[in-house]
Structure 1
């Protein structure tokens, strides 16, 4: 029997071949939080070349409590680059340095919860022109990869099996980073400029994806300082099976896999959005359980619709506490609702 295991290759930080499924997706995502300014956010591009468009999301949590948000589906013809809708991602050196930019409009939401009804939110709130330029440098090794088969001395991708409509990603990687750069917001002829020095996490996924494939998931990203960060996640599949995972990254040490995850959540408000979080993790080395608590600082509910299902992706900029050490990151909760 041939050897199969999850392998991360240097080329995984670049664009992957389009394998032809109608819902083939290749996405890259970068988040960051500058704790000195209480400024953070994320930007994502998901190429759906076989459907003829990309999903572009830009979301910035601003120091005054407002959130700048934009979503577009710009037309694309191929999967050669992440460059659409005003967003552009460039891999300067795989797993070491990336350049990230967004030049376009942001809807400025005084009450970000209004984005539960996007048409109304976009109509009733003001806009700013945004120019975001950041240099994203790695502070940990990459984590993740793709299940690959050993053929000779090479690791190769086996042929996909199963229904592409039920799949969420063939391959996936994550990495902690430091984001430095600048954000300029322009409205009514006046500029607001922010210099950014932040920590964050990026991810990159490829393969068939519909947001409706899992039953639900929780994805928690955390940066405590440049030498300590973590990610914890749990996905519940439509058949009820669970896939926990994640990692802890400490400077100068190998990345440590998280094997068990239990997440307890307090939900609040009319929309029942996550607010307080307690996550218990067990790592592969058999060490003492890790307990981290979180409090959402700013929340925006995002929406995706397909085949009569409304999928809510709730994005909370979150403050984390791990044995008194304070960190920041995104808590992302995906759930489905019938229309």
Structure 2
């Protein structure tokens, strides 16, 4: 039996779960994203589809982090001028019960990559030379908190980057199976985060950090930090405590010297100040570091994606990103 009442704490409800009219926006992007971390099975994943109908294609990413530092990856585009569903490259993300339940399915191959740093400058070559394995993913996302935004107007980031004009997020859990080659992981209520955004997107405009984290006590965090052209820092996000209360983030400071390199040997260390909570200090070891390059016609940015395990009193785990502009654009 389904619950017809929308599960939302913001201006977006069941209707927002549908696709939207590109309205002639030349760099329009409508994106759905789901991740999960299973600390017991030591596997995590991020899965994303972006429709760019006015640019004539859709794009998909399936990235699995596996025990031992390896990753399994598929990332690509295919021609598409429609914006009626999220299905491409063998990946489909479908809303089954708006604001509450998603189905995530994937059936295609993935490249098994032992050295993710090769993706930074030689991504196509690394994917071509890596062993190709059959992959099947069948997961159900179930929301644990209502839909929420990090800004009242739904802006995707707290700063000036052009990433989306409408955007909402949600924490939940996923259950199902993930198979890579002959190995299958059963996922049982693994911590998960998803979002949906639409509007103009300019990947290379962003300079900052992002984090989705789950602490051992049940606290969930999504945090954004952006370095403005003036050098000032804009912060946003929320901390959701185990009692279900949302605490807006006022400051998210990341201590790193990362500048877009192919590798990073430091830690993921951040301090978060949120309304009504003591200061949170998150200090994490990086289990996987995956450098992805996003390009537009005249610019490029390096997105360093990480799986993180936190130490000390704020023990937990997360998926994080450092995103830095590259000048001149990488070739």
TM band (smaller chain): 0.7 to 0.9
Please name the residue that 1:208 is paired with: 200
Structure showing greater Rg: 1
Residues 9 and 145 in structure 1, CA contact (< 8 A), matched pair in contact too: no
Q: Does 1:61 align with 2:56?
A: no
Q: How does 1:308-323 map to 2 (within 5 A)?
A: 308-321=298-311
Q: How does 1:129-278 map to 2 (within 5 A)?
A: 129-144=134-149, 167-186=162-181, 191-197=182-188, 198-214=190-206, 216-224=207-215, 227-265=218-256, 267=258, 271-273=262-264, 275-278=266-269
Please name the residue that 1:160 is paired with: none
Tell me by how many angstroms 1:192 deviates: 1.7
Residues 62 and 74 in structure 2, CA contact (< 8 A), matched pair in contact too: yes
Give the secondary structure class of the aligned counterpart of 1:144. coil
Paired with 2:310 and 2:78, the residues of 1 have a C-alpha distance of 35
Tell me by how many angstroms 1:25 deviates: 0.5
Q: How does 1:285-296 map to 2 (within 5 A)?
A: 285=276, 287-296=277-286
Paired with 2:285 and 2:319, the residues of 1 have a C-alpha distance of 11
Tell me the alpha carbon deviations over residues 133-188 of structure 1, each in whole angstroms, 9 at most, x when there is no partner.
1001112222217755xxxxxxxx9xxxxxxx9622101112111111111223xx
Paired with 1:223 and 1:289, the residues of 2 have a C-alpha distance of 16
Tell me by how many angstroms 1:240 deviates: 4.0
Please name the residue that 1:107 is paired with: 111
Equivalent of 1:88, from 89, 92, 98? 92
Paired with 1:318 and 1:304, the residues of 2 have a C-alpha distance of 22
Number of aligned residues: 312
Tell me by how many angstroms 1:273 deviates: 2.8
Please name the residue that 1:327 is paired with: 316
Gaps of 5+ in 2: 1-9, 155-159
TM-score, length-scaled by structure 1: 0.85
Residues 200 and 222 in structure 1, CA contact (< 8 A), matched pair in contact too: no
Give the secondary structure class of the aligned counterpart of 1:275. coil
Residues 95 and 103 in structure 2, CA contact (< 8 A), matched pair in contact too: yes
Paired with 1:296 and 1:40, the residues of 2 have a C-alpha distance of 13
TM-score, length-scaled by structure 2: 0.87
1:275–1:141 CA distance, 2 compared to 1 (3 A): farther
1:242–1:269 CA distance, 2 compared to 1 (3 A): closer
Tell me the alpha carbon deviations over residues 247-299 of structure 1, each in whole angstroms, 9 at most, x when there is no partner.
111233321111112111255996353631221121123x4222111221111
Equivalent of 1:127, from 132, 138, 142? 132
Residues 99 and 133 in structure 1, CA contact (< 8 A), matched pair in contact too: yes
